[in-house]
A and B are shown apart, each in its own frame.
Chain A
């Protein structure tokens, strides 16, 4: 009985081994053949392709018809667009894209292979094929559309300025933070930021955070945004307080120094800042006081340099270093501050240059 079982297992394993081996053999042979065909086709047309890209020449001599033609062109065009800043009339390129690549990607989006569909989405992004928008929206509701594809499509639609994106995303799972920040940077602009600020309270928590990140990243400035940020410094939600302070520090502006100082005093007195969880908030407040340099901030920075959290101490020292009299003050603190940690960090920042950090 056992012998028969072992015999059967051996036979099955042998069959599997042979199948994998011959599959790999054929696979490698096909790969080598495809690679050679791709290279041969590219070599034959490289002059015409270069002339097309760099001198606006005709594409008639390298019309892509087969998979390896598209792959060769995708890589060349993709590298070109990644490395060269396109200026002036580039309509001949867009014509080729519309004529040959759009139908190709329509077909690829219907592929059963997940990776082929994803590759199509990456190149739609690379070549900015806005005419694919209806197919992308249709693909979103398809059964085969994975979470990764949805994320790519949302970013693409944001790139194309699709107005109905927030509604379209309503029924979808939340995007990862990184992608949501990226998406927000695509949909908000100096012209549109006030629109989002007005309905800030209606946005979900991740969207609120992403909006603040985008405002910081894109350096957007409006009165309404400034008012929102200063109001959020007293929000009930600690993460919003930190993000608001971080954005204010990046934008480098406060409408009222007095109001900020009052907020600072209130935060200290409330006992909230004694909790270790407040380190992020204190750190960002210190950063803000280094960004908007005022004499009246100095006593607060001198206090924060003796904080129990390393990050807060370091940020306070860094901010002090940014004041014209900062180096001298740090020298004094390195000798006179009652706290040993404060003396050490002050000493450290005398030698460091905040511009190089």
Chain B
């Protein structure tokens, strides 16, 4: 019996040590990402916010853009999103574009509201629908606005977000398309900013560019435009604001500077139409269609030697509504976790495969061991702590110090992201905003992080049982009203 206890004890010790090494490596990698983002954004700090984009705004050489807005039960936000793209003072500063809203068989009033508000009339002939040749669920009708001829809405049978995006790509007539969510609100110059790396890049072809996503809850908005960016008073939203800053400004900028970015948020990204068609469009039977497409583009880029890059830029901004209820946040996060797994699983042969260079040796392992397995490791860490505590085997000083490191290091990274935000965006200008961000960052390890860990572990278990989710419905208030 004693021998068995000793073996279990030894195993626990070894696992603890492994977790510790994992933790240190993780800290090191995040620090590396922070330094990469730091050097890039430090250089851009103080760059004028309007002048660099004026040339593109007035040039006839700026490539035209198809903006695809997939919508499923978005009656609360869709009008605001369209307004933010086409009308009045909120009209995009982009020289030439078309807006294609794709109604994916919504059960609410999404289609009726758009038809009524923008005087949409059916386009009788639909030949052009399959011009780009991606197979989709049947299209019922295409409408064109009588007020804004560059605004279309496609009504189609429900087939999921990826299928809706593919319908939009089939209709798109321009060399680049942007995908934005139905509840997204953009700043008027966001498309000029997101297209800048594409038009002014000398060396490589750019396959896609991701933009920055900020939380809309708490903002003061009018006529489809955000008038003042404000932090929400709700703790759950506040934590998501910090999370988004960290993920976008630190993670994605850092990874993209080495062409290692595997995710461009479905909320706001621009793609080269021809390459996406060549890749077969979005994969319809997956949840994380945005990530899967980017991974596939990376794969084809290597296999077909396109010599292209996938970029991420910090200053084009879109605002999206974050879940305010735990129920919806839980659904969102479990959906994201499943999407992450599906993308990695679909392209598993890229993992540690020399053919794919740094994508195979750095990006894929990072997303698998850190993003996907991280919560399991963390959960195991909490579990062994509880077991040790029950068995009275905890060296409390050590455990306390380790926890303090977790709190402080996590807060350091969060504040680092706030620093990057200050340099490039400076949206939250009050000192009270900074104090609130620090306090919430310090509190993260006590409630938000364990919550996320548990949810993602649950998601991992549900992946094993293969339970599926759909569009990820959420009760929306509308962020642009």
A residues neighboring B (CB under 8 Å) = 2-3, 6-7, 9-10, 13-14, 16-17, 20-21, 23-25, 27-29, 31-32, 78, 82, 113-116, 118-119, 122-123, 126, 147, 151, 155, 173-179, 181-182, 213, 217, 310-311, 314, 344-345, 347-348, 351, 356
Task: Point out the residue from B56, B401, B402, B411 that lies within 8 Å of A17, measured CB to CB.
Answer: B411
Kindly state whether residue B419 has any CB partner on chain A within 8 Å.
yes
Q: Are A115 and B401 in contact (CB under 8 A)?
A: no
Q: Is the interface on chain B under 10, 10 to 19, 20 to 34, or 35 or more residues?
A: 35 or more
| Interface flags, B195-206, vs A, CB<8A=1, else 0 | 000011110000
- Tell me which of B185-193, B369-377, B429-437 binds A: B429-437
Task: Point out the residue from B50, B398, B419 that lies within 8 Å of A6, measured CB to CB.
Answer: B398
Enumerate chain B residues within 8 angstroms of A155, measured Cβ to Cβ: 55
B46 to chain A, nearest CB (A): 4
Q: Are B202 and A2 in contact (CB under 8 A)?
A: no
Q: Are A10 and B426 in contact (CB under 8 A)?
A: no
> How far apart are the CA atoms of A217 and B124 in the complex, in Å?
34
Q: Are B429 and A24 in contact (CB under 8 A)?
A: no
Q: Are A28 and B429 in contact (CB under 8 A)?
A: yes
A121 to chain B, nearest CB (A): 9
> How far apart are the CA atoms of A179 and B149 in the complex, in Å?
30
Q: Which of A115, A126, A155, A348 has the most C-beta atoms of chain B within 10 angstroms of its own C-beta?
A: A115
Q: Are A345 and B127 in contact (CB under 8 A)?
A: yes
Q: Are A113 and B199 in contact (CB under 8 A)?
A: no
Enumerate chain B residues within 8 angstroms of A115, measured Cβ to Cβ: 43-48
Q: Are B125 and A116 in contact (CB under 8 A)?
A: no
B22 to chain A, nearest CB (A): 14
Q: Of all chain A residues, which has the CB nearest B201? A: A176
Q: If the complex has contacts A25-B434, A122-B51, are A176 and B419 also in contact, measured as CB distance less than 8 A?
A: no
Enumerate chain A residues within 8 angstroms of B60, measured Cβ to Cβ: 217
Q: If the complex has contacts A3-B397, A10-B401, A114-B43, are A24 and B422 also in contact, measured as CB distance less than 8 A?
A: yes
Q: Of all chain B residues, which has the CB nearest A216? A: B60
Q: Are B48 and A122 in contact (CB under 8 A)?
A: yes
Q: If the complex has contacts A13-B408, A28-B434, are A23 and B419 also in contact, measured as CB distance less than 8 A?
A: yes
Q: Which of B47, B51, B149, B409 has the most C-beta atoms of chain A within 10 angstroms of its own C-beta?
A: B51
Task: Point out the residue from B51, B125, B131, B419 that lies within 8 Å of A123, measured CB to CB.
Answer: B51
Kindly state whether residue B251 has any CB partner on chain A within 8 Å.
no
Task: Point out the residue from A24, A27, A177, A217 that lies within 8 Å of B415, measured CB to CB.
Answer: A24
> How far apart are the CA atoms of A1 and B65 in the complex, in Å?
58
Q: Are B426 and A31 in contact (CB under 8 A)?
A: yes
Task: Point out the residue from A13, A175, A182 that lies within 8 Å of B409, measured CB to CB.
Answer: A13
Residues of B1-46 contacting chain A, CB below 8 A:
20, 24, 27, 43-46
> How far apart are the CA atoms of A123 and B45 in the complex, in Å?
17
By secondary structure, the A interface counts as helix
Q: Are A6 and B200 in contact (CB under 8 A)?
A: no
Q: If the complex has contacts A2-B20, A114-B43, A115-B47, are A182 and B422 also in contact, measured as CB distance less than 8 A?
A: no
24 CB-based A-B contacts, threshold 8 Å: A6-B401, A13-B412, A14-B408, A17-B411, A20-B416, A21-B434, A25-B434, A28-B422, A28-B431, A28-B434, A82-B54, A118-B48, A123-B51, A155-B55, A176-B201, A176-B202, A178-B62, A178-B199, A181-B61, A310-B131, A314-B128, A314-B131, A344-B125, A351-B123
Kindly state whether residue B178 has any CB partner on chain A within 8 Å.
no
Q: Are A348 and B125 in contact (CB under 8 A)?
A: yes
Kindly state whether residue B404 has any CB partner on chain A within 8 Å.
yes
Q: Are B419 and A10 in contact (CB under 8 A)?
A: no
> How far apart are the CA atoms of A349 and B378 in the complex, in Å?
61
Q: Are B127 and A178 in contact (CB under 8 A)?
A: no
Enumerate chain A residues within 8 angstroms of B422, measured Cβ to Cβ: 24, 27-28
Kindly state whether residue B418 has any CB partner on chain A within 8 Å.
yes
> How far apart are the CA atoms of A21 and B408 in the complex, in Å?
12
B172 to chain A, nearest CB (A): 12
- Beyond A9-B405, A31-B429: 5 further Cβ-contacts under 8 Å? A25-B431, A28-B429, A122-B48, A178-B62, A213-B61
Q: Are B429 and A32 in contact (CB under 8 A)?
A: yes
Task: Point out the residue from B131, B200, B398, B434 that lies within 8 Å of A24, measured CB to CB.
Answer: B434
Enumerate chain A residues within 8 angstroms of B62, measured Cβ to Cβ: 178
> How far apart are the CA atoms of A32 and B428 in the complex, in Å?
11
Q: Of all chain B residues, which has the CB nearest A185? A: B61
Q: If the complex has contacts A21-B438, A82-B54, A118-B52, are A179 and B125 also in contact, measured as CB distance less than 8 A?
A: no
Q: Are B27 and A351 in contact (CB under 8 A)?
A: no
| Interface flags, B57-74, vs A, CB<8A=1, else 0 | 001111000000000000
Q: If the complex has contacts A113-B46, A213-B61, A310-B131, are A20 and B415 also in contact, measured as CB distance less than 8 A?
A: yes
> How far apart are the CA atoms of A328 and B419 in the complex, in Å?
65
Q: Are B47 and A119 in contact (CB under 8 A)?
A: yes
B44 to chain A, nearest CB (A): 6
Task: Point out the residue from A25, A28, A179 that lies within 8 Å of B200, measured CB to CB.
Answer: A179
Enumerate chain A residues within 8 angstroms of B438, measured Cβ to Cβ: 21
Q: Would you list the 3 A-B pairs with minimal beta carbon distance, nearest first? A: A122-B51, A115-B47, A178-B199
Q: Of all chain A residues, which has the CB nearest B59? A: A182
Task: Point out the residue from A3, A9, A347 that lies within 8 Å of B127, measured CB to CB.
Answer: A347
> How far apart are the CA atoms of A6 and B52 in the complex, in Å?
46
B93 to chain A, nearest CB (A): 12
> How far apart are the CA atoms of A174 and B202 in the complex, in Å?
7
Q: Of all chain B residues, which has the CB nearest A350? A: B125
> How far apart are the CA atoms of A25 and B415 in the complex, in Å?
11
Enumerate chain A residues within 8 angstroms of B429, measured Cβ to Cβ: 28, 31-32
Q: If the complex has contacts A13-B412, A24-B415, A28-B430, are A351 and B44 also in contact, measured as CB distance less than 8 A?
A: no
> How far apart are the CA atoms of A356 and B144 in the complex, in Å?
13
Q: Of all chain B residues, which has the CB nearest A210? A: B61
Q: Are B418 and A24 in contact (CB under 8 A)?
A: yes
Q: Of all chain A residues, which has the CB nearest B428? A: A28
Task: Point out the residue from A13, A24, A151 that lies within 8 Å of B419, measured CB to CB.
Answer: A24
B214 to chain A, nearest CB (A): 18
Enumerate chain A residues within 8 angstroms of B405, measured Cβ to Cβ: 6, 9-10, 13
Q: Of all chain B residues, which has the CB nearest A179? A: B200
Enumerate chain B residues within 8 angstroms of A21, measured Cβ to Cβ: 415, 434, 438
B292 to chain A, nearest CB (A): 26
Enumerate chain A residues within 8 angstroms of B199, measured Cβ to Cβ: 176, 178
A115 to chain B, nearest CB (A): 4
Q: Of all chain B residues, which has the CB nearest A126? A: B51
Q: Are A147 and B47 in contact (CB under 8 A)?
A: no
Enumerate chain B residues within 8 angstroms of A118, measured Cβ to Cβ: 47-48, 52
Q: Of all chain B residues, which has the CB nearest A27? A: B422
B437 to chain A, nearest CB (A): 9
Enumerate chain A residues within 8 angstroms of B131, measured Cβ to Cβ: 310-311, 314
Q: If the complex has contacts A6-B398, A28-B430, A28-B434, are A17 and B412 also in contact, measured as CB distance less than 8 A?
A: yes
> How far apart are the CA atoms of A286 and B422 in the complex, in Å?
52
Enumerate chain B residues within 8 angstroms of A10, measured Cβ to Cβ: 401, 404-405, 408-409
